[in-house]
């Protein structure tokens, strides 16, 4: 398969962009000669409900052109007060003057000509559609900046690429397509380090790498490492005494600890981070080889082995491989019945599970449950574990050192137990899953229903937060020991993300009507306050050695918080009067700018960070364009208001943008789209937030972002 060239896709700019209008096979290339009949036909007398609510042009068909293009439900249910409501014709029906009239390719319409209004609409559509890498996109979509991010990334690679044309991605296994490759280029190097180093790495893992995903029993794992080292000392295969699953767990633990050790030493050094991958990847490769060759019936250790592999993959930015590995782990969870109270407690040899194994089974399930909810929102994909099928109990709040084969060694559990954070994280993950289902559900649910669901879920979140034990909710983070500080930070960050997830859809809409809706003001305040808190936490993480690199989803939460602030920046510019109750706009935006640089510079070993930064740059640029747009609109409105301060600076910034030269032709041809006075948010739907969340893992961006 050869690469698409500009000649294949029509006139293009240097970046692979084209303003060539879309032409369906049945669409004529012209409307006929100037001598054709130009009779004027009636205008559309009734717009559909979505177009009417957003005050945009409607074709009056069912579905209309806009709803068909955006895959929305097109309805005409709004009351019609001008007599008998007309019946909207079908989109492809042959009605006089309908732009969708069917004619032979290359012929003009005979005896008819679209009214001037429809003609202008089609001409406008010609400039509102662009070709990116051979595919058409609608510039009136609120997510247009994602397509610009795609073309920018393509330009950075120095070549035009169409979907599926990248040789490196095409040669990767399906489950790893788009991920950075594994570094296995040191032949003859033994994967397992010497005894002292292995024991030190195991201690580092339990002391520094684990936060809330506590699915292993430390003392039991230390015994497993002893068996593996004994087998090596006697010249036996590593899995002789322990078996494939347990040995795989040991090797992955060592891989995670090795990578973290390098990360702590290489905050600003990409070379050291890559050196860490060169040392940790062989350990991980040996671990996956053992699980792939595992035989017999699955055990709890089989799930643990794969889940800990998922954590390594997430921390190293191999997101695609993590998704497929996690799916395999969920299948084993289901086969063992770990989602039920009465899961199979006998092992493969018919022996009854002891107390430690039973508790680890519960821990591993709720760890998987939490990961499932976060992977769902990060990737924008369906959840694999469903609440209606789950009745598993939470594990006992007993630390590893206080457990024995026959039960807990202490009579009472303690709130200051590491398992408490696992349980609290699972509980908020359950609420996050409900937010995704009830606030972002597909279909034609009324905004009032979404608002009611959001309000109820926000109330649940606050009740969850109020019930946290003091060391996870109320105690000042700086006073906690390192292990509890990591847990408290993770829980607080999860709380901020959940509030953002529940409230951000309400940033959309007519912001100038907020003074008439106190409930809407409250939701927006909750959203902006949560975004501010998340950014402040991430600022603290960056400056705390014990917190840095502890959470694989930190960059995703940072992305969500920054996206909220940039969207609000666009909305803020549309306000006729400042809203005094909202969070300080200037300081919030300044904090966002500061944290944006952390995203660009942090964790460069993980490819998603680069994509997140690229998308945010385009969203931020869109916010700056809206500043220009509103300033120009006010200057030309005749009200005597001048353009807002900073307009010249914004225009200068855009002139210096890396894509300015390459998209100059695009901007000239789409001037009526970008500078017409309409906010890009007018066409946003609640579900567009989910598309934004998952945009860093779009298959196109993935195949373009494989490190050399």
The pLDDT > 70 percentage for the chain reads: 64
pLDDT of residue 683: 66
The pLDDT > 90 percentage for the chain reads: 37
305/321 Cα distance (integer angstroms): 15
Which of 12-16, 213-217, 436-440 has the largest mean confidence?
A: 213-217
360/217 Cα distance (integer angstroms): 7
Buried b (16+ CB within 10 A) or exposed e, 133-148: bbeebbbbbbbbbbbb
User: What are the structure tokens assigned to 135, written together?
Assistant: 């595919």
Note whether 429 and 373 are within 8 A (CB).
yes
pLDDT of residue 136: 39
Ordered alpha helix ranges (H), 415-553: 418-438, 447-466, 470-473, 482-503, 518-542
- What mean pLDDT comes out for the span 440-466? 89
Give the E-state strand segments of 265-356 in sequence order. Answer: none
pLDDT of residue 142: 53
Q: Classify burial at 175, counting beta carbons within 10 Å of its beta carbon; exposed 0-12, middle 13-18, buried 19 or more.
A: middle
Task: Between 465 and 38, name the one with better pLDDT.
Answer: 465
Task: Between 588 and 282, name the one with better pLDDT.
Answer: 282
Is a pLDDT exceeding 60 seen at residue 633? Answer: no
Q: Write 114-122 long-range contacts (CB < 8 A, 24+).
A: 114/31, 114/41, 115/40, 115/41, 115/42, 115/43, 116/40, 117/43, 117/44, 118/59, 119/31, 121/57, 121/59
Question: 346 φ, ψ to 5°?
Answer: -100, 145
Question: Whole-model pTM?
Answer: 0.75
User: What are the structure tokens assigned to 590, written together?
Assistant: 């300044």
**Is the preceding omega at residue 63 within 30 degrees of 0, hence cis?**
yes
Among 383-392, 469-478, 687-696, where is mean pLDDT lowest? 687-696
Is a pLDDT exceeding 60 seen at residue 705? Answer: no
Confidence category of residue 574, pLDDT binned at 50, 70, 90: low
- Three-state DSSP string of 107-136: CCCCCCCCCHHHHHHHHHHHHHEEEECCEE
pLDDT of residue 6: 35
Is a pLDDT exceeding 50 seen at residue 166? Answer: no
Minimal CA–CA distance to 466: which of 495, 487, 437?
A: 495
Q: How far is CA 426 from CA 144, 278, 356, 490, in A?
A: 35, 34, 20, 12
Confidence category of residue 169, pLDDT binned at 50, 70, 90: low
Task: Between 163 and 619, name the one with better pLDDT.
Answer: 619
Is a pLDDT exceeding 80 seen at residue 440? Answer: yes
pLDDT of residue 681: 67
Confidence category of residue 313, pLDDT binned at 50, 70, 90: very high
Among 22-26, 49-53, 230-234, 590-594, where is mean pLDDT lowest? 22-26
pLDDT of residue 263: 81
- What mean pLDDT comes out for the span 321-339? 95
Confidence category of residue 352, pLDDT binned at 50, 70, 90: low
Is a pLDDT exceeding 80 seen at residue 43? Answer: no
The per-residue pLDDT for range 575-628, each reduced to its tens digit, is 655 555 455 667 888 888 888 877 765 544 456 777 788 888 878 877 777 666
User: What are the structure tokens assigned to 399, written together?
Assistant: 């630390």
Minimal CA–CA distance to 422: which of 472, 363, 493, 496?
A: 363
202/208 Cα distance (integer angstroms): 10
**Lateral strand order in the sheet of 17-18:** 17-18, 129-132, 135-138
């Amino acid at each position: 398969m050869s690469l698409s060239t500009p000649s294949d896709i029509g006139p293009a700019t240097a970046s692979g962009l084209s303003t060539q209008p879309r032409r369906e096979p049945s669409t004529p290339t012209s409307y006929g000669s100037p001598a054709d009949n130009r009779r004027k036909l009636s205008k559309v007398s009734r717009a559909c409900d979505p177009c009417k609510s957003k005050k945009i042009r409607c074709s009056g068909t069912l579905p209309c052109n806009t709803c068909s293009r955006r895959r929305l439900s097109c309805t005409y249910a709004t009351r019609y007060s001008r007599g008998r409501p007309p019946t909207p014709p079908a989109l492809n029906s042959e009605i006089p003057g309908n732009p969708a009239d069917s004619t032979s390719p290359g012929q003009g319409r005979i005896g008819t000509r679209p009214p001037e209004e429809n003609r202008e609409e089609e001409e406008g559509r010609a400039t509102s559609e662009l070709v990116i890498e051979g595919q058409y996109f609608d510039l009136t979509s609120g997510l247009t900046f994602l397509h610009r991010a795609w073309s920018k990334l393509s330009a950075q690679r120095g070549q035009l690429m169409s979907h599926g044309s990248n040789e490196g991605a095409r040669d990767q296994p399906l489950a790893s397509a788009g991920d950075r490759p594994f570094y296995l280029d040191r032949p003859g190097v033994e994967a397992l380090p010497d005894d002292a180093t292995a024991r030190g790495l195991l201690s580092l893992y339990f002391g520094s790498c684990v936060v809330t995903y506590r699915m292993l029993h430390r003392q039991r794992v230390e015994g497993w490492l002893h068996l593996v080292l004994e087998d090596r000392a006697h010249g036996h295969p590593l899995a002789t005494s322990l078996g494939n699953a347990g040995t795989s767990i040991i090797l992955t633990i060592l891989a995670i600890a090795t990578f973290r050790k390098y990360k702590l030493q290489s905050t600003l050094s990409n070379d050291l981070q890559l050196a860490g991958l060169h040392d940790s990847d062989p350990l991980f490769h040996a671990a996956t080889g053992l699980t792939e060759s595992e035989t017999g019936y699955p055990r709890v250790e089989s799930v643990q082995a794969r889940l800990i592999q998922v954590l390594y993959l997430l921390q190293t930015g191999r997101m695609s491989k993590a998704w497929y590995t996690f799916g395999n782990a969920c299948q084993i969870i289901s086969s063992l019945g770990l989602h039920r109270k009465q899961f199979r407690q006998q092992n493969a040899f018919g022996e009854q599970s002891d107390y430690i194994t039973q508790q680890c089974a519960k821990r591993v399930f709720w760890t998987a449950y939490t990961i499932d909810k976060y992977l769902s929102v990060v990737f924008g994909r369906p959840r694999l574990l469903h609440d209606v099928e789950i009745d598993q109990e939470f594990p006992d709040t007993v630390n590893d050192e206080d457990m024995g084969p026959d039960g807990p060694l202490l009579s009472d559990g303690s709130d200051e137990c590491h398992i408490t954070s696992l349980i609290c994280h699972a509980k908020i993950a359950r609420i996050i899953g409900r937010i995704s289902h009830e606030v972002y559900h597909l279909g034609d649910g009324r905004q009032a229903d979404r608002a009611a669901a959001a309000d109820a879920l926000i109330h649940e979140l606050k009740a969850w937060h109020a019930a946290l034990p003091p060391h996870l909710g109320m105690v000042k983070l700086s006073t906690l020991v390192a292990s509890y500080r990591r847990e408290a930070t993770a829980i607080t960050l999860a709380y901020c993300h959940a509030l953002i997830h529940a409230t951000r859809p309400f940033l959309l809409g007519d912001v100038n009507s907020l003074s008439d809706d106190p409930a809407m003001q409250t939701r927006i305040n909750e959203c902006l306050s949560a975004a501010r808190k998340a950014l402040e936490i991430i600022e603290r993480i960056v400056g705390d050695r014990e917190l840095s690199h502890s959470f694989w989803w930190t960059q995703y939460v940072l992305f969500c918080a920054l996206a909220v602030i940039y969207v609000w920046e666009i909305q803020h510019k549309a306000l006729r009067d400042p809203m005094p109750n909202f969070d300080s706009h200037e300081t919030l935006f300044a904090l966002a700018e500061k944290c944006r640089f952390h995203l660009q510079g942090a964790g460069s070993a993980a490819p998603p960070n680069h994509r997140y930064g690229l998308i945010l740059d385009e969203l931020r640029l869109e916010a700056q364009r809206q500043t220009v747009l509103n300033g120009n609109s006010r200057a030309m409105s005749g009200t005597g208001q001048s353009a807002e301060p900073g307009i010249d600076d914004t225009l200068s910034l855009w002139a210096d943008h890396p894509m300015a030269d390459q998209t100059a032709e695009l901007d000239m041809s789409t001037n009526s789209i970008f500078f017409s006075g309409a906010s890009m948010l007018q066409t946003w739907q609640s579900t567009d937030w989910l598309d934004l969340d998952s945009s860093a893992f779009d298959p196109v961006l993935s195949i373009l972002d494989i490190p050399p």
